[in-house]
Structure 1
Amino acid sequence: MKTKIAWSPTPELVKSTRLYRWMKQLGYDDYDAFLQAATNDVSWFWQEAEKVLGIHWDEPYTRTLDLDKGIKWPKWYIGGKLNAAYNSVGKWADDEQMKDHAALIWEGEDGQTLTYSYSQLNEQINRVANGLKEQGIQKGDIVAIYMPMVAETVISMLAVAKIGAIYSPVFSGYGADAVATRLNAAEAKMLITADGFYRRGRPVSMKEEADKAVAMSPSIKKVVVYRRLQSDIPWKKDRDIDWVDVAKAEPLCETESLNSSDPLMLIYTSGTTGRPKGAVHTHSGFPLKSAFDAGIGMDVKKGDCLFWYTDMGWMMGPFLVYGGLVNGATILLYEGTPDFPDPGRLWKIVETHQVTHLGISPTLVRASMKHGESWSNQYDLSTLRVIASTGEPWNPEPWTWLFEKVGHSHIPIFNYSGGTEISGGILGNVLIRPIGPITFNSPLPGMEVHVFNEEGKPVTNEVGELVITKPWVGMTDGFWGEPERYEEAYWSRFENVWVHGDWVMKDDEGYWTITGRSDDILNVAGKRLGPAEIESILVSHPDVIEAGTIGIPDEVKGEAAVCFAVLNTGVEETERLQLELLDLVAEKMGKALKPKAIHFVPDLPKTRNAKVMRRAIRAAYLGKDAGDLSSLENPQVVEIIKQLGERS
């Protein structure tokens, strides 16, 4: 089926992009030829990539890539020395033309705002870096950062990096047990936290949860506390340190010069078994890949404003930091929820701070749809050049609504998919090619990507596993302390092939569609289908705002689909509507794939970065252990689904 084109770049836009100008500089007029060259010689490609990003090396590298330990354990930029903090902020603070440009804007949910220039941000980083050293933090120590989206979170990350220690960001919505699990897995020496933050107009306490977590984490020696709320909090004199006391140290001018392979960040992702996986990222890995995807892929330039609605404990938080700052752009952090005090808050932020690049999730868009486009149309979005989306597959209706009603059919939607272990994206929508609804128009340059069938053969026009067959800069340097688990997770299916876990299809024209996680895939009577296919049909019905689909055991078909629908405000939950929706799926997918049941629910289980957790739905419905659910925003929904399963 031919991909419908929704947006095409003008010749003028193409020529203005960093990607096109870089291609021309390297001698390429044709994007496909350039993409082929990038994957034919990944060593050449990533050497040119660091140059175009202006990466500062304290000592130049002698070789770009070393594969002595095989494709699973590549080493990049051999012999090179650098520091991610300097490449993000220090180099711009030393630049007379850049030092006074805005580096970071923070907006609190209560309306407070702060702006730091590169020079001001650098001074804060240098003071905190010295303050951390005075508290005994040394090169190689691990500092956990359990903080809301405030400027001090970014300052902490880069201060830790400046002195050669390793930071581990923890999702601000986690409870004590989940925090403790990560502190213990990392054997963190220090925790940086806050007294709390504002969410939906209410203060949310953090210090109490942090104290409970530290009580279960013997490796923690010191706790630094930033007083965002200025609230009355418990205090241990021999352990707790006020942020103000750390931040008033004399600025540390010297930046630790580190090997390119030295660890920068340890970021944990939820595992299906409940034991989180600690992805290890280096000073030349995560910052460079994130900056490349943002700068060359999304066309983030000096002076632009990048705003991603996320949390620093999720991958897109550090992506925001390095994707923006390494490129000399302004990054925007927002503390609260995007629809408080009204559904126009997100768009008001775009207007107020002249955002050029906005990152959101399909779930957030589906939630906005029910309020209508009048909220976005109240605000001037003329600075917005790109809307990026990540976290989950799109359904056509919300994609079309965002593109046509919010972006008025002229702002490209940069669909972006990758992962924590990738340091950014595998697939994207480069701005020099046409873009179609819900699809990706290209692998990100430098990523050798294919669709494999069950036999490990590349296929087109057929759903299969998303795989990567060559190493890339930003690839996780294993899991912290668990090399065998890392190899088992990504390399055990096909020899020397990274199996990412996404179910995807590539068509003849080079457009890619992700249909869901391959571990979410349904096998109904021998027919494999991604849950997003059924969910998109349900969401196309005017009464349905959101849908989730799982597979459950079935005696006849092996597996049958069960669906969960969130209805629009004011729509009555009736048996007639259930039958209508079941028939709609049967009509679109075929009678053999008609779901076994459909249930109406008030919401779907989601993480706070708005990712639907289908495994939580399935486990609850079948009465099984779902593993780690500590990142859920709305755990009460799991109980509702569990009760539905018990009654079915």
Structure 2
Amino acid sequence: MCWPTNLGWVMGPILLYSCFLTGATLALYHGSPLGRGFGKFVQDAGVTVLGTVPSLVKAWKSTNCMDGLDWTEVRVFASTGESSNVDDDLWLSSRSYYSPIIECCGGTELASSYIQGSPLQPQAFGAFSNKSMTTGFVILDDHGNAYQPDDQPCIGEVGLFPIYMGSTDRLLNVDHEKVYFEGMPKYKGMRLRRHGDLIKRTVGGYYVVQGRADDTMNLGGIKASSVEIERVCDRADESVLETAAISISPVTGGPEQLVILAVLKKGHNTAADELKKKFTRAVHANLNPLFKVSFVRIVPEFPRTASNKLLRRVLRDQMRRELSLQSKL
């Protein structure tokens, strides 16, 4: 088993513990997983279970660095840390006879995942097939009420049942109750635990993570998640490696403005104005014709956490300062 991670993130301890528990062999690679060297290690070590992060897969696919390598020993892929892209998942699965990709979503404070795929069920790219064992949760509407019945298609913030094996019950430097429970609604007498994910339950009963609830934006009175906008914009032009969607409130007041930041593939120099036109057309055709792309910025890379998660909050602060400075000028 091989899974690029670190011990400061939940996947590190889970990887070590699960390998010792099951007797699996842990494959250790010294170096960056972004390049061909890592791919050759996966090939030469005969890795059968390969864990990934979606941005890693996107980098492998866009740079073609894994071309010619034999990953057919891989029986199953796994993915966590970010929302997956269906096209990238299809590419990854094709590296080993279209092996399944097991999606996992949870958190360090839970010491596990609360939704994930199961090898016993049919899997869909970029989606989760089931709640994790012992996990209970509901999806909340805009008024904090749980959608009923609990198998209907819907989208909203997830509310976890408070009794959860392995979850934290105290924090070192902040109030645990305030962080995870204050302001959360009750369900069947239980105060729900806050996790912060926005998820969609599909017609077929699968779950799709739409990003963080605090990344939700209000565009013309309509709620939209950063992830769904990014999925559309990522496919709008072949020069785009990845995008980040944020909303900014104008300094002078008024409705939130949609800002798309883009990282281009190597060798491409598409202008921001051209991308703005393409992003606008894609958003109108696939999401809502009322959504307006106000600004497009091309950047060399995105700020990320140690576990490679995109820091939209940092991008939002940077753009807010930039627009504030322009307003003063």
Instruction: Tell whether the 8 Å contact from 2:249 to 2:257 is kept in structure 1 after alignment.
Output: yes
Aligned length: 315
Max Rg structure: 1
Q: Which residue of 2 aligns with 1:455?
A: 143
Q: Distance in 2 between matches of 1:613 and 1:442?
A: 27
Q: Distance in 2 between matches of 1:395 and 1:382?
A: 22
The change in CA–CA distance for 1:324 and 1:645 in structure 2 (over 3 A counts) is farther
The change in CA–CA distance for 1:645 and 1:443 in structure 2 (over 3 A counts) is farther
1:469-618 alignment to 2 at 5 Å? Answer: 469-480=161-172, 482=174, 485-492=175-182, 493-495=184-186, 496-541=191-236, 542-554=238-250, 558-574=255-271, 575-618=273-316
Q: Which residue of 2 aligns with 1:365?
A: 57
1:313 equivalenced with 2:8 (yes/no): yes
1:467 equivalenced with 2:159 (yes/no): yes
Deviation string, structure 1 residues 565-590 (Cα, Å, up to 9, x no partner) = 11122222322233222222222222
Q: Which residue of 2 aligns with 1:428?
A: 116
Shift of 1:645: 7.0
Instruction: Identify the structure with the greater helix proportion.
Output: 1
1:490 alignment partner AA: Y
Task: Flag structure 1 segments of 5+ consecutive residues without an equivalent.
Answer: 1-305, 624-641
Deviation string, structure 1 residues 247-289 (Cα, Å, up to 9, x no partner) = xxxxxxxxxxxxxxxxxxxxxxxxxxxxxxxxxxxxxxxxxxx
Q: Percent identity at matched positions? A: 29
Q: Distance in 2 between matches of 1:580 and 1:646?
A: 27
Q: Distance in 2 between matches of 1:354 and 1:557?
A: 57
Q: Distance in 2 between matches of 1:481 and 1:602?
A: 35
Higher relative contact order (CA 8 A, sep 6+): 1
Q: Distance in 1 between matches of 2:70 and 2:28?
A: 20
1:407 equivalenced with 2:103 (yes/no): no
**Which of 46, 54, 76 pairs up with 1:354?**
46
3-state SS of paired residue (1:391): coil
The change in CA–CA distance for 1:481 and 1:565 in structure 2 (over 3 A counts) is closer
2:36 alignment partner AA: G
Q: Distance in 1 between matches of 2:249 and 2:19?
A: 46
Q: Distance in 2 between matches of 1:587 and 1:368?
A: 29
Give TM-score scaled by structure 2 length: 0.89
Shift of 1:462: 2.3
Q: Distance in 1 between matches of 2:326 and 2:125?
A: 38
3-state SS of paired residue (1:307): coil
The change in CA–CA distance for 1:330 and 1:599 in structure 2 (over 3 A counts) is same
Shift of 1:400: 2.4
1:67-86 alignment to 2 at 5 Å? Answer: none
Instruction: Tell whether the 8 Å contact from 1:586 to 1:593 is kept in structure 2 after alignment.
Output: yes
1:434 alignment partner AA: P
Instruction: Tell whether the 8 Å contact from 1:524 to 1:557 is kept in structure 2 after alignment.
Output: no
Q: Distance in 1 between matches of 2:124 and 2:138?
A: 20
Q: Distance in 2 between matches of 1:310 and 1:508?
A: 33
Q: Which residue of 2 aligns with 1:335?
A: 30
Give TM-score scaled by structure 1 length: 0.47
**Which of 81, 85, 95 pairs up with 1:391?**
81
Task: Flag structure 2 segments of 5+ consecutive residues without an equivalent.
Answer: none
Q: Distance in 1 between matches of 2:248 and 2:144?
A: 27
Q: Distance in 2 between matches of 1:577 and 1:620?
A: 20
Instruction: Tell whether the 8 Å contact from 1:621 to 1:646 is kept in structure 2 after alignment.
Output: no
Q: Which residue of 1 aligns with 2:134?
A: 446
Shift of 1:474: 0.9
Q: Provide the alpha-carbon RMSD of the alignment.
A: 2.0
3-state SS of paired residue (2:40): helix
1:466 alignment partner AA: V
